[in-house]
Amino acid sequence: MSQNNYTEENIKSLDWKEHIRMRPGMYIGKKGDGSSTDDGIYVLLKEIMDNCMDEFVMGYGKTIDLSVKNQKVIIRDYGRGIPLGKVVDCVSKINTGGKYDTKAFKKAVGLNGVGTKAVNALSEYFKVQSIRDGKTKIVEFNRGSIILDDEIKDSSQRNGTRIMFVPDSEIFSNFKFLDHHISTMIWNYVYLNPGLTIIYNNQKFFSENGLKDLLTSKLETSITYPIIHLMGDDIEVALSHSKSKYGETYFSFVNGQHTTQGGTHQVAFREAIAKTFKEFFNKNFEASDIRQSIVAAVSIKVMEPVFESQTKTKLGSTEMGDSLPTIRTYINEFVKRKLDNFLHKNPEISDIILKKIQQAEKERKDLVGIKKLSRERAKKSSLHNKKLRDCKVHYNDLKKERRLETTLFITEGDSASGSITKARDVYTQAVFSLKGKPLNCYGLTKKVVYENEEFNLLQSALNIENEIENLRYNNIVIATDADVDGMHIRLLIITFFLQFFPDLVKEGHLYILQTPLFRVRNKKETIYCYDNNQKLEAEKKLTGKLEITRFKGLGEISPHEFKNFIGSDIKLDPVLLKNDSEIEALLTFYMGKNTQDRQNFIIDNLRMEKDIIDN
């Protein structure tokens, strides 16, 4: 029996960049390919942008220039600039930075001196330039190692800092920046900071009305009453109820940081809304009835915020700061005072809200009996044995750091689900198997979710019956065949989520799995092709006798091959929505009864397979 010796030689010390590169997940969450908003490349971008924002908040520099072209990012602010003698230290020494001095940065986002260093270590090229009081300093790095340390020179440029970086292709394979995700991030910055201008790829981003503008952009005309906009010291709130029947949507921020996973401030805000409406109407409504279809935003500023991870997506702080009230008390008192005053002054809006709550209450009570039966049915169906092949991350504390990677593949048919089940990563990937085509649920009430076995079991698997925050999988991936039936099933599943759980789509959890249509190979090499153009290129590249396979369905792809398509090189197309008003318009057109309009659209856009092949 071999022995594992534990000696002094086993003890190793890593320098700052080696540790970041070995454990990138500790600093940027999941790596990803750029299809998801929480992928690492956007965390890198945000870390640099957050530094620029801190300068603006402190009163230095009203403009930020951002350029993202292909894989190169350039960010320039017009703040004070890094002190020239400390440029190297600030981007390459952990626990070094100006934010430890709370006099210089009172309510900054990043306080632990890690962000810029993580960007440096995880970039194959990183360049920092500081311009300060007529002088400038430039330093260049390769994967955290200095390749140029220029001397301080004279400069006529405006004060500020310019960062250029290219994410490391060894860490982030096959990645790309999506304009939609970056634009959303930029809009959040300007909504939270009226007076700030961000120029992104020559497009100007600017907001005058803060969170009111944010909700307006998301809702457009799909609200039941004008947006309520409340302002206070270190807090801003905006809210309305949408015309949608279901879901709750929140945009929460701390010191300008978009906390996509909420936290103590969002919990307190939701609690305050329910409590204020109960007291105003003097009725003991259920909190879920009050908040059903609410769309709201809350932004607070606290001293030295504590986040639950380096990616700062969830606030853990309970205090506003030394000698200040708790976050819960502060938000409750603010909402109680300001919202109650607004409701008294605007009785017509109060009446609309009351009717909205009463309608939600009636529908919930109508569903009580049906819910009970549906739970019994789900239990009898042995959900976790038949329909769902779950992943182990939920049951293994050692794998909790991989929660952001949790993925549920929704498939149709035994062969497809069987292949994915055998090829998946059992720690983070789960499979839910549909039986045939699901129901077109457009225009139906939530009653159908509990009466329809497939929808009921899918809802149970996702754990989203009561709260979207209970979602068991960060990524929900629709994996259907690339034929007419598969496309139809895909559309029906998307309709289900948009109709009953729109927040799940709006928060970026829904994706489409892209799998190859063709396999082209000779004796030495195999190329998988996702469209006809790639197939033609593969035929030109490979020599000798070629074997060309057209995959008609997922079930034809062996488990061995499937590992290539759901592993580190997985190709996902996110289902993206710009605002709430898109939902009703999309569902009405594609799933409604406007048969002639849809028929004309199909005829106008139809391309026969022969035409595609000829091209």
Question: 608 in a domain, yes or no?
Answer: no
- Is it the case that residue 221 has pLDDT exceeding 70? no
Q: What is the pLDDT of the chain when averaged over all its residues?
A: 85
DSSP character at residue 158: P
- Is it the case that residue 103 has pLDDT exceeding 50? no
Task: Give the CATH number, domain containing residue 241.
Answer: 3.30.230.10
Question: Does 154 lie in the same domain as 249?
Answer: no
Question: How confident is the model over 241-271, as pLDDT tens digits?
Answer: 988 777 888 999 988 888 888 889 999 999 9
Question: 78 in a domain, yes or no?
Answer: yes
Question: How confident is the model over 396-409, as pLDDT tens digits?
Answer: 655 556 777 899 99
Last residue of a domain, one of 206, 232, 265: 206
Question: Does 114 lie in the same domain as 72?
Answer: yes
Comparison of pLDDT for 95 and 302, the residue scoring more:
302
Question: How confident is the model over 362-409, as pLDDT tens digits?
Answer: 988 888 777 776 666 666 555 445 688 888 887 665 555 677 789 999
**Domain membership of residue 495 as a residue range:** 381-515+553-584
Question: 376 in a domain, yes or no?
Answer: no
Question: How confident is the model over 269-327, as pLDDT tens digits?
Answer: 999 999 999 999 999 999 999 999 899 999 998 887 887 765 667 888 788 776 678 99
Q: Which two tokens stand for residue 190?
A: 């300007």
Confidence of residue 610 (pLDDT cuts 50, 70, 90): very low
Q: What is the dihedral of CA 112, 118, 120, 124, to 10 degrees?
A: 180
Kind of pairing, strands 294-300 and 249-254? parallel
| Beta-carbon count within 10 A of 556 CB | 15
Question: Does 133 lie in the same domain as 86?
Answer: yes
Output the pLDDT for position 397: 56
Query: Helix, strand or coil for residue 308?
Result: coil
Cα→Cα distances 91→108, 146, 534, Å:
17, 11, 41
The number of distinct structural domains making up the chain is 4
Task: Give the CATH number, domain containing residue 78.
Answer: 3.30.565.10
Give percent of the chain above pLDDT 90. Answer: 47
- Rounded to an integer, the average pLDDT of 538-550 is 92
Question: Does 538 lie in the same domain as 411?
Answer: no
Output the pLDDT for position 311: 64
User: Of 406, 430, 438, 584, nearest to 509 (Cα)?
Assistant: 406
Confidence of residue 95 (pLDDT cuts 50, 70, 90): low
Compute the half-sphere exposure of residue 414: CA atoms within 13 Å on the CB side of its CA: 1
- Rounded to an integer, the average pLDDT of 464-480 is 87
Question: Does 294 lie in the same domain as 189?
Answer: no
Q: What is the dihedral of CA 143, 147, 153, 159, to 10 degrees?
A: -10
Among 92-101, 127-136, 537-546, top mean pLDDT goes to: 127-136
- Rounded to an integer, the average pLDDT of 462-469 is 82
Provide the whole-model pTM: 0.72
Give percent of the chain above pLDDT 70. Answer: 86
Give CA 551 to chain center in angstroms.
31
Output the pLDDT for position 172: 92
Last residue of a domain, one of 180, 206, 232: 206
Would you say the C-alpha torsion 303, 309, 314, 319 has a positive or negative sign? negative
Backbone angles phi, psi at 150, to 5 degrees: -75, 150
Question: Does 557 lie in the same domain as 535?
Answer: no
Question: How confident is the model over 398-451, as pLDDT tens digits?
Answer: 555 677 789 999 998 777 888 899 999 999 999 999 888 899 888 888 888 888
Q: Which two tokens stand for residue 278?
A: 């109960």
- Rounded to an integer, the average pLDDT of 137-153 is 96
What's the rounded Cα separation, in Å, for the pair 357 and 355? 5
With left for phi above 0 and alpha for psi between -120 and 50, is residue 338 left, alpha or beta? alpha
* Cβ-contact 73, 119 below 8 angstroms: no
Output the pLDDT for position 100: 41
Question: 58 in a domain, yes or no?
Answer: yes
- Rounded to an integer, the average pLDDT of 129-144 is 96
Question: 260 in a domain, yes or no?
Answer: yes
Q: What is the DSSP string of 538-570?
A: HHHHS-SS-EEEE--SGGGS-HHHHTTTSSTT-
Question: Does 146 lie in the same domain as 41?
Answer: yes
Confidence of residue 208 (pLDDT cuts 50, 70, 90): very high
| Beta-carbon count within 10 A of 7 CB | 6
What's the rounded Cα separation, in Å, for the pair 407 and 403? 9
Output the pLDDT for position 12: 53
Output the pLDDT for position 417: 86
User: Of 314, 255, 399, 253, nearest to 38 (Cα)?
Assistant: 314
Question: 611 in a domain, yes or no?
Answer: no
Last residue of a domain, one of 183, 206, 229: 206
Question: Does 221 lie in the same domain as 185?
Answer: no
Question: How confident is the model over 323-370, as pLDDT tens digits?
Answer: 678 999 999 999 999 999 999 999 999 999 999 999 999 988 888 777
Task: Give the CATH number, domain containing residue 434.
Answer: 3.40.50.670
Question: Does 542 lie in the same domain as 530?
Answer: yes
Q: Which two tokens stand for residue 115?
A: 């962000």
Question: Does 196 lie in the same domain as 73?
Answer: yes
Output the pLDDT for position 335: 96
Question: 589 in a domain, yes or no?
Answer: no
What's the rounded Cα separation, in Å, for the pair 194 and 508? 26
Question: 272 in a domain, yes or no?
Answer: yes
Output the pLDDT for position 220: 59
User: Of 434, 424, 422, nearest to 386 (Cα)?
Assistant: 434
Question: Does 505 lie in the same domain as 406?
Answer: yes
Output the pLDDT for position 399: 58
Question: Does 576 lie in the same domain as 448?
Answer: yes
Confidence of residue 240 (pLDDT cuts 50, 70, 90): very high
